[in-house]
C-alpha cells in the first residue's frame, strides 16, 4: 500500500508540471529534400526507447496558382466596355470622322458628330437648333432646277417672187422643247431676318437620353422663276420632224429653189423653234405649270434631304413636319 501511494504521488506531480518545450528538428525525406519541424515525445511513454515524432509542414514545391474567379479576357473586355460607354461621344466622333473620310471618296457623306467629353453637357438647347439649321440653309450656293420636256408645233413659210413668178414654201414641224424653272434656295441674309417670318422652327417635343426630339419647320422661298431668255430653253433636233409641207407650182424649180432653200436650213429652223419654245415656256399654262411644280418639288427635296434632316438628326431631333410656302420676291433681297 505504501509503494502504491508513492507511485500515485509521482504520477500526480508529473501531470501538473508544465510540458517541456518542443525542440526544432531537421529531417530529410527519402528523395533528399530537407524540412524543419517540432519534435515531440511519442505516445509510448517515457524511457530511452521512446520514439521522437517530428511535425513538419507540407513538403515544399511549386504552389498551385490560385484560380481566378473571372478570366483575364473577361475583365479587360468589361473594362473596355465601361470606358467606351463613358467616352461614347469621343468614340462616335472618331468613328464617324474615319468613316466620313473613307466614304467621302465614293461620294457618301455622313452626318456630322461633334466632339465632346463625358463631363460636358451632351444636350443641345432648343434655342440653338433653329440657328444651327438656318446656318446650314444659308450655306446653299446652288439653285434648284425644275426641268420638263414639252411638245409643240411651229410653221415656217417663206415667199420670194421672181418677177411675175410667185415663189413660196411652207412647212410645219413637230418639235420637242426642254426648259427649266429656277428656285433661289438662298435669297440672301435679309430674306432670313426674323422680322420677315420666312423661317420658323418649332420644337414639338424635347429630346431625352433615349429618345429623339421632334421639330416642325416652316420656310418661305421666292416663287420659281421661269426662263428669262430664249437661250434658257433648248430644242431636241433628234425628235423634231416635218409633218406637212406646201409650196407654189414653181417650187422646187431652179429659180425659186435657189432663193428659198437657204431659209429652211437647220440653223434657221432651230432658231425659230427655240423662240417658239421660249414663248410657250413663259406663257402657256400647260407648260409653265409642270415647270413650276417640278422646281418646287426639287427645292423641297434638296433642302429637306440634304440640309435640314442631316443637321437636325445630328442634334438629336427628327423632322416631323416640313413646309415651304412660296411668296412673291420683293426688291432689295440680298
Strand ranges, E, within the chain: 23-28, 34-41, 52-56, 144-159, 168-183, 199-205, 213-222, 234-235, 241-247, 317-327
- Using omega within 30 degrees of 0 as the cis cutoff, is the peptide bond preceding 132 cis? no
- Contact between 233 and 179 under an 8 Å Cβ cutoff? The reply is yes
What pLDDT score does 80 carry? 82
Question: CA 85, 86, 87: angle at the middle one, nearest 5?
Answer: 95
Question: Which pTM value belongs to this model?
Answer: 0.58
Largest CA distance in the chain: 190
- Contact between 186 and 141 under an 8 Å Cβ cutoff? The reply is yes
What pLDDT score does 121 carry? 47
Per the listing, cell 514545391 goes with 61
C-alpha closest to that of 322 among 218, 222, 214, 220: 218
C-alpha closest to that of 130 among 213, 210, 47, 241: 213
What pLDDT score does 128 carry? 80
What pLDDT score does 209 carry? 83
What pLDDT score does 198 carry? 94
What pLDDT score does 48 carry? 56
What pLDDT score does 29 carry? 65
What pLDDT score does 163 carry? 79
C-alpha closest to that of 320 among 329, 332, 308: 308
Tens digit of pLDDT at every position of the chain (334 positions): 556 556 656 665 655 454 444 566 666 666 666 666 666 655 555 555 556 665 555 555 555 556 667 777 877 888 888 777 766 767 777 777 777 777 666 665 555 555 555 555 444 445 588 899 999 999 898 999 999 999 999 999 999 888 788 889 999 999 999 999 999 998 989 999 989 999 999 999 988 888 999 999 999 999 999 999 999 999 998 888 999 988 887 776 667 888 888 899 999 999 999 999 999 999 999 999 999 999 999 999 999 999 999 999 999 999 999 999 999 876 545 4
Amino acid at each position: 500500500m505504501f509503494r502504491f501511494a508513492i507511485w500515485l504521488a509521482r504520477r500526480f506531480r508529473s501531470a501538473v508540471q508544465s510540458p517541456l518545450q518542443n525542440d526544432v528538428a531537421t529531417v530529410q525525406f527519402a528523395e533528399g529534400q530537407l524540412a524543419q519541424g517540432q519534435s515531440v515525445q511519442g505516445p509510448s511513454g517515457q524511457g530511452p526507447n521512446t520514439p521522437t515524432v517530428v511535425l513538419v509542414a507540407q513538403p515544399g514545391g511549386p504552389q498551385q496558382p490560385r484560380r481566378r474567379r473571372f478570366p483575364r479576357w473577361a475583365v479587360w473586355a468589361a473594362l473596355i466596355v465601361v470606358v467606351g460607354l463613358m467616352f461614347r461621344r469621343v468614340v462616335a466622333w472618331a468613328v464617324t470622322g474615319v468613316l466620313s473620310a473613307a466614304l467621302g471618296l465614293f461620294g457618301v457623306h455622313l452626318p456630322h458628330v461633334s466632339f465632346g467629353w463625358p463631363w460636358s453637357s451632351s444636350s443641345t438647347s432648343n434655342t440653338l437648333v433653329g440657328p444651327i439649321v438656318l446656318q446650314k440653309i444659308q450655306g446653299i450656293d446652288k439653285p434648284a432646277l425644275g426641268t420638263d420636256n414639252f411638245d409643240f408645233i411651229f410653221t415656217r413659210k417663206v415667199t420670194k417672187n421672181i418677177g411675175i413668178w410667185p415663189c413660196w414654201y411652207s412647212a410645219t414641224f413637230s418639235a420637242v422643247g426642254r426648259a427649266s424653272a429656277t428656285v433661289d434656295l438662298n435669297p440672301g441674309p435679309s430674306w432670313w431676318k426674323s422680322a420677315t417670318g420666312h423661317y420658323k422652327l418649332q420644337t414639338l417635343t424635347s429630346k431625352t437620353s433615349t429618345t429623339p426630339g421632334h421639330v416642325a419647320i416652316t420656310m418661305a422661298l421666292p416663287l420659281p422663276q421661269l426662263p428669262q431668255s430664249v437661250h434658257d430653253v433648248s430644242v431636241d433636233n433628234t425628235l423634231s420632224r416635218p409633218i406637212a409641207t406646201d409650196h407654189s407650182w414653181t417650187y422646187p424649180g431652179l429659180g425659186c429653189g435657189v432663193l428659198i432653200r437657204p431659209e429652211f436650213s437647220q440653223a434657221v429652223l432651230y432658231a425659230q423653234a427655240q423662240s417658239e419654245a421660249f414663248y410657250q415656256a413663259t406663257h402657256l399654262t400647260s407648260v409653265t405649270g409642270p415647270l413650276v411644280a417640278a422646281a418646287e418639288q426639287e427645292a423641297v427635296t434638296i433642302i429637306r434631304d440634304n440640309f435640314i434632316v442631316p443637321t437636325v438628326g445630328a442634334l438629336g431631333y427628327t423632322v416631323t413636319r416640313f413646309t415651304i410656302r412660296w411668296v412673291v420676291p420683293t426688291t432689295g433681297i440680298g
